[in-house]
Amino acid sequence: MSDPTAALYVRLPHEEFDKLDRAAEALATNKKALVTTLVSHYVDPDSDAGLDRLRSIATQPRRITVDLPDDTIAVGHHAFTPAPQTDVLTPAQAAELLQVPEDEVVALAKAGTLPGRRIGDRWRFSRPALIAWLAGS
């Protein structure tokens, strides 16, 4: 017979973790039983009304307060956009991409095995050309 349970690993903010811990202790139960009960009573993904209730809770904007160096407080939103990857790489960047030592990249380029161009006394590599070379194309 297969196990009727599934693992759930979550990281909670300290304040919510403490609430869950205190509630489980006050009710003389464990956190697993408490979370199971809460999910069974409050999470209904099979009905529009249940999803609407969850949306109203889950989509509330989170506020983060940041203490700035000049002792002022700012409240706002944060978004992270990674920098675009450059298509022209230095030998160090090419070595990181290929996961080999930098001197090996330069030696392969000098031998004509690895696609690269010498510009003055510096080597430069094309990210797409290195990927194609690595793939054997």
CA 76 to chain centre: 21
pLDDT computed for residue 131 by the predictor: 93
Do 94 and 51 lie in one domain? The reply is: no
Burial class (CB in 10 A: 0-12, 13-18, 19+), 61: exposed
pLDDT higher than 90, residue 97: yes
Q: What is the mean pLDDT of residues 70-80?
A: 65
Do 71 and 20 lie in one domain? The reply is: yes
Q: Give residue-wise pLDDT tens across range 22-52.
A: 988 998 989 888 888 888 888 888 888 888 8
pLDDT higher than 60, residue 1: no
Look at 70 and 122; give whichever has higher pLDDT. Answer: 122
Distances (CA, A) of 39 to 23, 51, 59, 74: 15, 13, 18, 35
Extract the tokens encoding 51.
């999803």
Burial class (CB in 10 A: 0-12, 13-18, 19+), 94: buried
Decide which of 35, 52, 76 is a domain's last residue. 76
User: Structural domain of residue 39, as residue ranges?
Assistant: 14-76
Q: What is the mean pLDDT of residues 86-105?
A: 95
pLDDT-derived band at 63 (thresholds 50, 70, 90) equals: low
pLDDT computed for residue 72 by the predictor: 60
Do 18 and 54 lie in one domain? The reply is: yes
pLDDT higher than 80, residue 79: no
pLDDT higher than 80, residue 62: no
Domain count, the chain: 2
